[in-house]
Amino acid sequence: MSYLKWDQSLSVNDDVMDEQHQLLFDYVNEFYEAIKKHEDNHQLLQIMEKVLAYTKFHFAEEEELMDAYEYPGAELHKKIHQNLIQSVKDFMLSLTLGENVTREIKHFLKQCLVSHI
């Protein structure tokens, strides 16, 4: 069973953005499954590297759309993106240092992804 399940209620009515959000859901679910299998921090870190890389790509795409449509809250939204990216990097550092932060990461990823959409 998936930790996060995509459904049409999460659609932003943009096929490209919806596909990107769905892939992020897949990465969060992959992280959750790795926790259930008791994977070590190295394995979890590899998943987080994918999350970070794809999140950066997704945010760049989203920011490009905000700029193109002159979204009034774009600057604040971009700062939120920067903070989220920094949080992922901080969690990755914790994993690298051998800290047990899997529960915190799992909840952070779920909360951020759902509230972001």
Spatial contact of 60 and 54, defined as CB atoms under 8 Å apart: no
The amino acid that residue 77 corresponds to is H
Q: What does pTM read for this prediction? A: 0.90
Q: Which residues of 49-67 are buried (b: 16+ CB within 10 A; e: fewer)?
A: eebbeebeebbeebeeebe
Binned at pLDDT 50, 70 and 90, residue 116 comes out as confident
Domain count, the chain: 1
- The domain in which residue 83 lies consists of 15-61+72-116
Report, as an integer, the average pLDDT of 83-108.
95
Whether 6 maps to a domain, the answer reads: no
Q: What is the CATH number of the domain that holds 104?
A: 1.20.120.50
Specify the length of the chain in residues: 117
Q: Which of 77, 103, 105 is nearest to 89 (CA)?
A: 105
Whether 19 maps to a domain, the answer reads: yes
Report, as an integer, the average pLDDT of 92-101.
95
Whether 78 maps to a domain, the answer reads: yes
pLDDT in tens, 32-81: 999 999 999 999 999 999 999 999 999 999 999 999 999 999 999 999 99
Whether 108 maps to a domain, the answer reads: yes
Whether 57 maps to a domain, the answer reads: yes
Does the pLDDT value for residue 6 go beyond 90?
no
Does the pLDDT value for residue 104 go beyond 80?
yes
Query: DSSP code of 70?
Result: T
pLDDT in tens, 9-28: 999 999 999 999 999 999 99
Does the pLDDT value for residue 1 go beyond 80?
no
